[in-house]
Structure formats: C-alpha cells, structure tokens
Amino acid sequence: MLSFKEFQEYAEMNLKDALPPEYENAKVTLNTVTKNNGMVLTALTVLPDGQNVAPNIYLDGFYAEYKAGSDLSTIMDEIADMCVAHIDVPQQFATIGNDFKNFDYIKDRVIMVAVSRERNAELLTQVPHHNREDLALIYKVLIDQGAEGIGTITIRNEHMAFWDVTADDIKSLAEKNSVELLPAKVQSMDEVMREMFAKDGMDDEMMEAMFAERPIEEQMFVISNESRVNGAAAMYYEWVLPKLAERMGSDLYILPSSVHECIAVSSNMGTPEGLAEMVSEINEGQVSPEERLSDHVYRYSAEKQTLTLADTTVEALGLVAAENSQTYEATKTNTEGSVPRHHR
C-alpha cells in the first residue's frame, strides 16, 4: 500500500492520463493549504493553459478511499471528474487578481466569520480580527455564492495596507454586509428535522406524530445563515439574540456546534458545565477538526444584551480579555494569488 506521500506523488504524475485530451497542456502541481483551526490539507491544482486561476482538489479524502480498498485507476478517474467539473472558474474568479486591488469592488463584499482564537493563533497574527470571548471574528471577501457553496478570500494585514484601511473599517463593512449578503436563519430544531425528513420523502402525517408540540422554552433553536456556510457568525448580528431571547422569555445558552451554526436554548435548560461537556463530546465525535468552533458555552443576557462565556472565563483560558482591534505593520503587495473555494 502506498503511503500518503507516495499517493500524492502518484496522483501528480498520473492525473493528466485521466483528464480529457483538451487538458494535455494543463499544469498539475501539489500544494498544501492551511484551513480553519490550523488544519493542513494536501491539494492538486490543475491550471489549464491560458488560465490564471485554478481549483484546489484536496487529496486527503481520496487517500481515505484508497486505504478503504478502492483501486487507484478508479480514484484517478474520480479526481479527474472533479477537476473537469470545477476547472472552468466563474468569471468573478477569472478577474479577481485585478478586482481585488480595487477597494470599491471589495467594500460591498466584506463579510465576517467566527473562528476559534486558540486554534487559529498563528492565523490571527496575519489577519485583521476582533476578539469575542474565546472566539475571533475574521473577515473575508465574498466572491461567489451559489447552490454549491460560497467562494471567499480571507482579508490579510497586507491587503489592509494596500487599500489604506483599518481593521475597524473592515469590521464596520462586514457587520453591514453580512446581514445583507448572508441573512440569518433561525429555526427550531424540530423545523430543521422536518425539512430533512421531508426531503427524504416522509409524509406529513408521520412527521406530525414524531414532532409533538412543545413549549417554546423547551425547544432548541439553530442559528445560521441562509447558505449554512460559516453561519455561526450570525449570532453576532444585532437582532438575532435579542429577538430570540424575547421570544423564549429568558436568557439564552449558546452552544457552538460548528463554524457553520450555533444552537440556542433557554438558560433554564441545564447547567453551563453540563452543556459544555455535551458540546465537547459532540465536537470530538461528530464534528470534523476543521469545522470545530469552541468547546465552551456562552450566556446571552437579555437585560444587559451581552454574550459571555458561561462555563469558564477568558482569563482562565489564558486569553486576552479585551476586545482587540488588530494592529499591524505591512507594506503594499500584489494581491494576486490562489483563490480558495469553500464547498459544503
């Protein structure tokens, strides 16, 4: 059996043989990509002749298939099919090298994303961000949005220097744009499950039998955005938690189930320590390392309109407590480069 390194080299050397003839002059290269929470993935990049933007095809999942018993020729065909499906990049990406230099293009596309401070400590030295308890809000430029997911580019310190803007400028734009470009979606867990079962063909009568009416204070609510990608940041939209707390008639506990969504429950449901233990167990067993947000629980105070850690403190975690407007030293730089695609 090939090691992962040998598998990577095999894929790089043999992919062209699996691609259609029109891609015979394409450039195939191996590269590593650092994702959320410091996860490093290995990707093949296939750059057709005359094109300056190419998709990353991550090999980690294909190697898992190989170890599970799939033969190499079948896997190479699957990789080739994925390359062909994504090789014709949207027009937005084809011109992004020039567009990204123009702040007038950027300013209406800046959005915010919530990430773990501890797991992304190195990244946070390189990007504008604002701390929120044990989380940080980082900022991205939304380039593409469709049925397959969203395409973004992370804003880095050197980009701010090029545009001559501050982290607070970026934050203000992100707060405004995120609400408009990625509207919040708040649903009860029962509603979410009903949608899933309906897609699987379950009839209404059976669903009615499964989901009995419950008092609102006993329900769980899922907070995300309409794309359900990087939707945990929606808990920071100005109206989301105040309106939900008013609806439930109590303070809220917020369970960060992943970077894509959070779960809100009444503060009368359980203890923060018990809920945090549940979050930690779910993260360990059901959430991929790249998508984990936090092992801790937050409390939203309806009276104070504040969101704070409930089961621990920032100081106990060894993190800086004050909100941070990132400072930086950087020189102007060309912003052209690889453009990450995010699918879910």
Q: Are 38 and 122 in contact (CB under 8 A)?
A: yes
Alpha-helix residue ranges (DSSP H) falling in the chain:
4-18, 60-67, 72-86, 91-94, 96-99, 103-106, 121-124, 157-163, 167-181, 189-199, 204-210, 240-248, 272-286
Torsion angle of C-alpha atoms 232, 234, 237, 243, degrees rounded to 10:
-100
- Tell me what percent of the chain is helix, strand and coil, each rounded to the nearest 5: 40, 25, 35
Q: Which neighbouring-strand residues pair with 341? A: 151
pLDDT tier, 334 (very low <50, low <70, confident <90, very high otherwise): very low
- Residues whose CB is less than 8 angstroms from the CB of residue 344 and which lie 6 or more positions away in sequence, other chains included: 149, 228, 229, 260
Q: Are 152 and 342 in contact (CB under 8 A)?
A: yes
Per-residue model confidence as pLDDT tens digits over 255-305: 999 999 999 999 999 899 999 999 999 999 899 999 999 999 999 999 999
Cα distances (angstroms) measured from residue 4 to each of 60, 80, 105: 8, 19, 41
Q: Which of 6-10, 20-24, 64-68 has the lowest mean pLDDT?
A: 20-24
Q: What is the pLDDT of residue 205?
A: 66
Handedness of CA 90, 92, 94, 100 (dihedral sign): negative
Q: Give the global pTM.
A: 0.81
pLDDT tier, 212 (very low <50, low <70, confident <90, very high otherwise): low
Distance CA 159, CA 75 (A): 38
Q: What is the pLDDT of residue 91?
A: 58
Per-residue model confidence as pLDDT tens digits over 166-200: 999 999 999 999 999 999 999 988 888 777 777 77
Q: What is the pLDDT of residue 327?
A: 31
Q: Are 235 and 305 in contact (CB under 8 A)?
A: no
Rg (C-alpha) for the chain, rounded Å, is 22
Whole-number average pLDDT of the chain: 86
Burial 44-53 (b: 16+ CB within 10 A, else e): bbbbbeeeeb
Distance CA 256, CA 297 (A): 7
pLDDT at residue 72 is higher than 50: yes
Per-residue model confidence as pLDDT tens digits over 291-312: 999 999 999 999 999 999 999 8
pLDDT tier, 344 (very low <50, low <70, confident <90, very high otherwise): very low
Per-residue model confidence as pLDDT tens digits over 97-155: 778 888 999 999 999 999 999 999 999 999 999 999 999 999 999 987 766 667 888 99
Per-residue model confidence as pLDDT tens digits over 158-169: 999 999 999 999
Q: What is the mean pLDDT of residues 311-326?
A: 70
Q: What is the pLDDT of residue 324?
A: 42
Distance CA 252, CA 275 (A): 12
